[in-house]
Amino acid sequence: MASIAMAASLRTFLRPHRCRLLLRQSRSLSASAAPAGAAAASTVIRRSVVEVLRERGLVEATTSESLGSASASPRELKAYCGFDPTAESLHLGNLLGLVVLSWFRRCGHNAVALVGGATGRVGDPSGKSAERPELDLAAVETNSNAIKSLIGQILDRAPEPSQHSQSGKNLNLEQNEQALVNSGEKMGSFQILDNYDWWKDITLLDFLKEVGRFARVGTMIAKESVKKRLMSEDGMSYTEFTYQLLQGYDFLYMFRNMGVNVQIGGSDQWGNITAGTELIRKILQVEGAHGLTFPLLLKSDGTKFGKTEDGAIWLSPKMLSPYKFYQYFFSVPDIDVIRFMKILTFMSLDEIQELEESMKKPGYVPNTIQRRLAEEVTRFVHGEEGLEEALKATEALRPGAQTQLDSQTIEGIADDVPSCFLPYGQVLKSPLVDLAVSTGLLASKSAVRRLIKQGGLYLNNIRIDSEDKLVEEGDVVDGKVLLLSAGKKNKMVVRIS
């Protein structure tokens, strides 16, 4: 009886795949029957999304070479990437997944972002030296909803393949994009799912019966993420040990019910991804499930890109302002900036090469390429409004800038730089030398006087040339705030109470 049920289930799964195969055959026959001249006129060379990703340094490994050929046909693939709701925002390390999903869409395929409302309650052991703290259900739900909204906004900003560079320059499209434009192919769709929607109805016995008996403990233990944890002092809990099967079943479920046939993830996800392709092969006894991993986001020195002394670089403007996000990319070292342009933006490789060559020419203005990188990534993550906010704050807060400061602009960066509250009476007519020390901008009056002589002390972006400067009523911006700057980077927002 079990074999009969399995066969029926397999027929149900294969029926739509067989229909798609017949449809492709029909289209092929129709194309061959068309006049030779018309066929030649409409022929375009389509490059696969795997080729495009590989050229940009976004492919670490694939589970099968056949993925490359399959990805050359539009709508052939439906790729998914998972995001566990461990916080109310994704961070910079998650951005690569969203970029790769967007490239699948730009090459005519469909994309799925899967939020782990269920798996987030377990915790992925990959790349972790200890088990994650358990999140309560309310936190998981809050985080999941926030991340779904964030993902939707970011994926919706992926530029159409027919669009030129966001800078407004009329540039040639890359070969794969030109093929899409010439063939009239549209951008692939995307959807956002939550794996809690199917896990909530699965019992432990169901899971053991459908999945557990096909899993081999030896194979699971051999996974790199598991081996490292088993050798550690704390070991690994059974809960975390099952994570690869949970993620593997996600792939199986979506492959069987939604036609999702590619899972993507960082290189640390290889074990989880292959667990899914193996389950599909064993349980459904069909081929066609693929995995693709991309490199982790690292600096040239091997350290993680996206970590600062203050913590993670968050993608949500509620947790990190567009201004500070922009500034992080603006400070990328020259040695990394071109590589990050290739993997984090949708700029053509031709334009990136031109920019790289411009860096070697005499008269190159430092940080010109960094500025472009910061603009492109900030636009993708925060939209045009977020980019405008970041650019406005960057220009207005530049010491010596002619831009008129207002209290709203200063307040906009108050969470990103040191700030303090002082009574109005304590600020008005106060010597600026004393104020710079009492607010903590500088350690001593002698340091303040020395900085003034060097031309490095600014009040509301205006250079202070006199040690006798007193704070006047007109210096208090909108009667609310002051901005003190020691050089270009050290700032202090003084809120007047």
pLDDT of 38: 37
- Residue 363, judged by CB atoms within 10 A of its CB (0-12, 13-18, 19+), counts as exposed
- Cβ atoms of 382 and 317 closer than 8 Å: yes
- Angle, in degrees to the nearest 10, between helices 137-155 and 368-396: 110
Residue 212: Cβ within 10 Å count: 13
pLDDT of 15: 40
From the centroid of its chain, how far is CA 292? Answer: 16
Give the whole-angstrom CA distance, residue 348 versus residue 216.
45
β-pairing, 457-459 vs 481-486, is antiparallel
In 167-324, DSSP assigns E strands to: 190-194, 262-266, 290-294, 307-308, 311-312
- Cβ atoms of 121 and 138 closer than 8 Å: no
* Residue that has been written with the tokens 């389950």 in this structure: 279
In the chain, what are the domain boundaries?
A: 47-160+185-296, 320-395, 405-494
- CATH for the stretch 47-160+185-296: 3.40.50.620
Angle at the Cα of 261 from the Cα atoms of 176 and 143, rounded to 5 degrees: 95
pLDDT of 131: 62
Instruction: Fill in the amino acid letter for 379.
Output: R
pLDDT of 402: 66
Tokens of 482: 């002051």
List 233's β-bridge partners, or say none: none
pLDDT of 418: 85
Query: pTM of the predicted model, to two decimals?
Result: 0.78
- CATH for the stretch 405-494: 3.10.290.10
Tokens of 204: 């432990």
Q: Which fold has domain 320-395?
A: Tyrosyl-Transfer RNA Synthetase (1.10.240)
Question: Which helix (H) or strand (E) element contains residue 288?
Answer: none
Helix (H, G, I), strand (E, B) or coil at 36: helix
Helix (H, G, I), strand (E, B) or coil at 110: strand
Give the whole-angstrom CA distance, residue 372 versus residue 342.
12
Helix (H, G, I), strand (E, B) or coil at 173: coil
- Residues in the chain, pLDDT under 50: 1-45, 164-173, 176, 179-184
**Helices and strands per DSSP (H, E), number in the chain:** 22, 13
Residue 239: Cβ within 10 Å count: 14
